[in-house]
Structure 1
Amino acid sequence: MVLSDRIVEEKILRLRDGGHPRVLDLFSGCGGLSLGFSAAGFEITAAVESERPAAASYRANIHPDDAFRVLEDDIASTDPEAFIEKLKLGDVAEVFDVIIGGPPCQAFARVGRAKLRELDEDPEAFRNDPRAMLYSSYLNYVRSCRPVAILMENVPDVMNFGGLNVAQEICEELEELEYNCAYTLLNSAFYGVPQMRERMFLLAYHHRLQRSVSFPAPSHWIELPQGYEGSRRVALKLLTVDESDQWTAGYTEPPEARAELEPAVTAEEAIGDLPAIDARAQVRAGVLRRGARRFDKLLMYDGCRYASQYARAMKDWAGYEAGDGVYDHVIRYLPRDFELFARMSEGDQYPEAHQLALSVFGEKLSKLAQQGKPVKQDSEEYLSLKRKVVPPYDAGKFPNKWRKISRDQPVRTVILNPLISG
């Protein structure tokens, strides 16, 4: 038996004797994956995160007493051996049983790729984004740490990255490293999360574990909007089906969500118990103004507002129990947009909001004319008033840049600006 196999075998024996699986979280963000794994009984041993605010949040949430366990650095420039040596936990190949993480998705996602093309005036700009190759750094940690199990998540478009199925490439490399590997597409709404978030999940087990890869059965059901099916078709475009009706080796069809399952958790069930904030009233009262704000004002829960089973589960999460109210309720000063948000119907997106803004602009022009103060079209006064009422964004691009939440459904996936999200 070679040394690496012996180390993996010892890890498996330790786990079978009741030891907690020790986790390394790569690209950890503020700790969402770690939180879930911790709740499932895993020991979150260490993490790597390059963004300072995210790393600070991770330390506060996951390792408040062991800040050194969170390496704030670019994974592409970190050496696994040097990192593990800093932890003083032992040999690099012996410390972790599980590696989890998801490389930054902006280079893979179609929205991110489109923005990169626009900014660089280069149709192939996304290919040159260094974030697209961070999965190779992830694999370097796998080679050094020899985990028993691996989990990676990313956007569906990682399966069709400019004509390359990156998930398949990763699976094939992991198989060369003696792992059984499979990947699929899962939607979080089918698993009790109040968001319709489609993600590629890749799982791998070391062959000495003698376990095939499978994915969990859904617990909830909702009929997904058509746009999600379209995105899935694009992601699956590079996969082929052989004569026996089998998909490309590595890809696995997701478990089916059936209509008889429990209904998906809705936005109202998730946040309906939070204290109400009237932004327009705060602007009128002069409470909400421009300038820096801090998370230092307690807003008490209203005992009359219903807390769903989901909301109670979030409030009672072991180690993160809710208090009598919330502090993290700072909102931006956007008086123009507040008026539009109030007029939008649930489910409206940016094109509807833009049309509403034009209507409001027309109303203001009519009112001024009735007062004997007509405004000449395209004058400076006209353009100034329009800027105060109508958002400047192109209504023909990314219609879901704005969307008013429908309370009786899970929320849609948030579209991030790549320049803001890094």
Structure 2
Amino acid sequence: MNKNTALRKTDTSVIRGKLERLDRGGRPRVLDLFAGCGGISLGFHSAGFEMVGAVEIDEAAARSHALNFHRNAPPELFEAHAKPRDITMIEPDELLAEYGISGPPNAQIDVIVGGPPCQAFARIGRAKLREIAACPEAFLRDPRSNLYLRYLDYVRALEPVALLMENVPDILNFGGHNVAEETCEVLDNLGYDPRYTLMNAVFFGVPEMRERMVLVAYRKELKAKRWHPEPSHWINLPQGYHGTRQVAMQTIRIDLLEEDRYFSNLSEPHPDHSISAVTAEQALSDLPRIDDESKLKQSKGPRRFDQFVRYPWPPRTDYQRLMRQWPGFESMEGVHDHVIRYLPRDYKIFARMQPGDQYPEAHQLAFRMFEERLQEIERKEGRRPRPGSIRYEDEMAAYVPPYDPDKFPNKWRKMEADKPARTLMAHLGKDSYSHIHYDSTQARTISVREAARLQSFPDGFVFQGPMNPAFRQIGNAVPPLMAKAIADTMMKQLEKVREHEKEACTQAAVGV
């Protein structure tokens, strides 16, 4: 009996044991790597999976994850879950031990999910990945790319029944590499049947157009039939999203000529057979107004989440009702994190911007408003401030933002009420100009809770504040509703194959 045969029998025994536990009514146990605040975790939790734990290096995000998924744990265990961790510094068995989980590590986790950062991994290529598959410790010799490698190392050590890997579309064409394709080759060698595709969150009920690569893999013993959910909602995406997809797909066309086995092209949603996409107004219109009378617009200071504000109206749409009544994350009276940035110079610009306007339009508008101000001074005082004078420069600074519109065309954008939001980015933690509220009578950027709503986090989901870290967590997250669609598909797949594959694993173990 050679080494590979022994490894295959060991894998079969582990998989059989996991399927038997699931067949007895056990919930699939999930470990979330690079978890952030828990967008994927929430989707899987809501689909019936058990969240065992998470690995996240950001302190605020790690505590947010614990506050939402382990809030009822004893204090010592809660702190273990809230602890930020560098995945390169902790082994899978050590992690499980910190959670108080004993027994063989590869018997404790059924599903691994996560979105490892992609920067250095794209430079590895097929040859390097094959080396990694053959040598689990290879990541120690290549710190440039250890994040993706550590994800694969955890897969190797914990032998999950299924896994999810999420990333940006550019990972399909990163320096000429199709990183998802190359990752699938490694997973294939490790005993998995992987598929990857591109999914836009807006097609799964999220009021945000957010394109992502989604890779799902099952153990080969499961003989999987379905990897990704079918879209439920429809919208005609703006041209920029089509362009991004076309660039990402260029390497897939090449691979298809080589009989690519891993890419799955999802069916296109159709307006006659799908629900209309959720718009920004349908997502946000029941939240309290923040207008010129609000203290948040009048005063500068820390934006903490210690003020509870009540909903002014009942939910007006099905989406708003879901955000208030999400099972396990209900918030029936109001919210604590409906806070915004203090931007007094720009409120007047926001009020006069048109839906869809970006920074070049805002910059031109600011100069027109500055000219109006100069005319007002001339009427009142008889002459204008002289260009270059202190008065002139001070007046201009009060109206005109300092950024070059040619260099920062997308820095600002006013949302459209009747369309989903554009992609929320991590730099929400630095500014919120990419998402200016569609309601001109409020004339402001979106609040933390509005960003969470657009990303499909329910109102009962809490973020470790204050404002900037919360914005960053939301911008980095996978939309929970999209994650739930993936998790629902995975749960159905596991339920469908469980009985059949228990029998198949038993036959393989005895050499039938």
Please, what TM-score do these two structures have when normalized by structure 2? 0.73
User: Matches of 2:92 and 2:214 in 1, distance apart?
Assistant: 24
User: Matches of 2:195 and 2:23 in 1, distance apart?
Assistant: 23
- Preserved CA contact (<8 Å) 2:290 2:297: no
2:30 is the alignment partner of 1:18: no
Task: Name the counterpart of 2:197.
Answer: 184
Task: Name the counterpart of 1:227.
Answer: 240
Task: Name the counterpart of 1:126.
Answer: none
Match runs of 1:109-148 below 5 Å: 133-148=146-161
Work out which of the residue numbers 292, 295, 301 in structure 1 matches 2:311. 301
- How far off is 1:214 after superposition? 2.8
Work out which of the residue numbers 373, 379, 394 in structure 1 matches 2:404. 394
2:166 is the alignment partner of 1:153: yes
2:251 is the alignment partner of 1:238: yes
User: Matches of 1:359 and 1:209 in 2, distance apart?
Assistant: 65
Task: Name the counterpart of 2:416.
Answer: 406
> Deviations 1:389-421 (Å, cap 9, x if unpaired)?
111222123433221111111111023339955
Task: Name the counterpart of 2:355.
Answer: 346
User: Matches of 1:231 and 1:287 in 2, distance apart?
Assistant: 36
User: Matches of 1:176 and 1:210 in 2, distance apart?
Assistant: 16
Task: Name the counterpart of 1:73.
Answer: 85
- How far off is 1:180 after superposition? 0.2
Instruction: Name the amino acid aligned to 1:75.
Output: I
> Deviations 1:339-381 (Å, cap 9, x if unpaired)?
1111111111122111111111111122122222411112232
User: Matches of 1:354 and 1:132 in 2, distance apart?
Assistant: 41
Sort the Cα spacing of 1:292 and 1:418 in 2 relative to 1 into closer, same or farther, 3 A: closer
> Deviations 1:216-243 (Å, cap 9, x if unpaired)?
1111110000000000011112223578
SS at match of 1:363: helix
| Structure 1 stretch displaced more, 213-222 or 43-52 | 213-222
For structure 2, the residue ranges without an aligned partner over 5 or more in a row are 1-7, 123-141, 431-471, 477-512
Work out which of the residue numbers 31, 43, 50 in structure 2 matches 1:36. 43
User: Matches of 2:255 and 2:400 in 1, distance apart?
Assistant: 53
Sort the Cα spacing of 1:419 and 1:33 in 2 relative to 1 into closer, same or farther, 3 A: closer
| Structure 1 stretch displaced more, 406-415 or 183-192 | 406-415
SS at match of 1:399: coil
- How far off is 1:200 after superposition? 0.5
2:68 is the alignment partner of 1:61: yes
SS at match of 2:302: coil
- Preserved CA contact (<8 Å) 1:97 1:149: yes
SS at match of 2:88: helix
Sort the Cα spacing of 1:172 and 1:189 in 2 relative to 1 into closer, same or farther, 3 A: same
Sort the Cα spacing of 1:266 and 1:131 in 2 relative to 1 into closer, same or farther, 3 A: farther
Instruction: Name the amino acid aligned to 2:107.
Output: E
Instruction: Name the amino acid aligned to 1:282.
Output: S
Instruction: Name the amino acid aligned to 2:25.
Output: G
Sort the Cα spacing of 1:47 and 1:246 in 2 relative to 1 into closer, same or farther, 3 A: same
Work out which of the residue numbers 339, 353, 369 in structure 1 matches 2:378. 369
User: Matches of 1:352 and 1:145 in 2, distance apart?
Assistant: 53
User: Matches of 1:57 and 1:78 in 2, distance apart?
Assistant: 20
SS at match of 1:401: coil
Q: Calculate the aligned-residue CA RMSD, in Å.
A: 2.5
Please, what TM-score do these two structures have when normalized by structure 1? 0.88
User: Matches of 1:215 and 1:36 in 2, distance apart?
Assistant: 14
- Preserved CA contact (<8 Å) 2:325 2:332: no
- How far off is 1:246 after superposition? 8.1
SS at match of 1:236: helix
Sort the Cα spacing of 1:164 and 1:409 in 2 relative to 1 into closer, same or farther, 3 A: same
- Preserved CA contact (<8 Å) 1:84 1:91: no
User: Matches of 1:169 and 1:334 in 2, distance apart?
Assistant: 46
SS at match of 1:302: coil
Work out which of the residue numbers 402, 415, 422 in structure 1 matches 2:425. 415
| Structure 1 stretch displaced more, 232-241 or 47-56 | 232-241
Instruction: Name the amino acid aligned to 2:265.
Output: E
2:350 is the alignment partner of 1:337: no
- How far off is 1:287 after superposition? 6.9
2:178 is the alignment partner of 1:168: no
User: Matches of 1:365 and 1:50 in 2, distance apart?
Assistant: 51
Work out which of the residue numbers 318, 327, 333 in structure 1 matches 2:336. 327
Sort the Cα spacing of 1:312 and 1:191 in 2 relative to 1 into closer, same or farther, 3 A: same
Instruction: Name the amino acid aligned to 1:409.
Output: K
- Preserved CA contact (<8 Å) 2:283 2:320: yes
- How far off is 1:54 after superposition? 0.5
Task: Name the counterpart of 2:16.
Answer: 9
User: Matches of 1:269 and 1:418 in 2, distance apart?
Assistant: 22
User: Matches of 2:255 and 2:423 in 1, distance apart?
Assistant: 33
Instruction: Name the amino acid aligned to 1:12.
Output: L
Instruction: Name the amino acid aligned to 1:387.
Output: A
User: Matches of 1:281 and 1:247 in 2, distance apart?
Assistant: 62
- Preserved CA contact (<8 Å) 1:240 1:247: no
- Preserved CA contact (<8 Å) 1:194 1:410: yes
Instruction: Name the amino acid aligned to 1:258.
Output: H
Instruction: Name the amino acid aligned to 1:147.
Output: P
Task: Name the counterpart of 1:204.
Answer: 217
User: Matches of 2:237 and 2:276 in 1, distance apart?
Assistant: 12
SS at match of 2:426: coil
User: Matches of 1:37 and 1:384 in 2, distance apart?
Assistant: 53
> Deviations 1:184-219 (Å, cap 9, x if unpaired)?
001111111111111100000011112144321111
- Preserved CA contact (<8 Å) 1:182 1:252: yes
User: Matches of 1:399 and 1:416 in 2, distance apart?
Assistant: 18
- How far off is 1:43 after superposition? 0.4
User: Matches of 2:230 and 2:224 in 1, distance apart?
Assistant: 17
| Structure 1 stretch displaced more, 11-20 or 252-261 | 11-20
SS at match of 1:53: helix
Task: Name the counterpart of 1:115.
Answer: none
Task: Name the counterpart of 1:256.
Answer: 268
Sort the Cα spacing of 1:223 and 1:59 in 2 relative to 1 into closer, same or farther, 3 A: same
Sort the Cα spacing of 1:41 and 1:327 in 2 relative to 1 into closer, same or farther, 3 A: same
Report the identity percentage. Answer: 47
What is the aligned length? 398
- Preserved CA contact (<8 Å) 2:116 2:148: yes
Greater per-residue helix proportion: 2
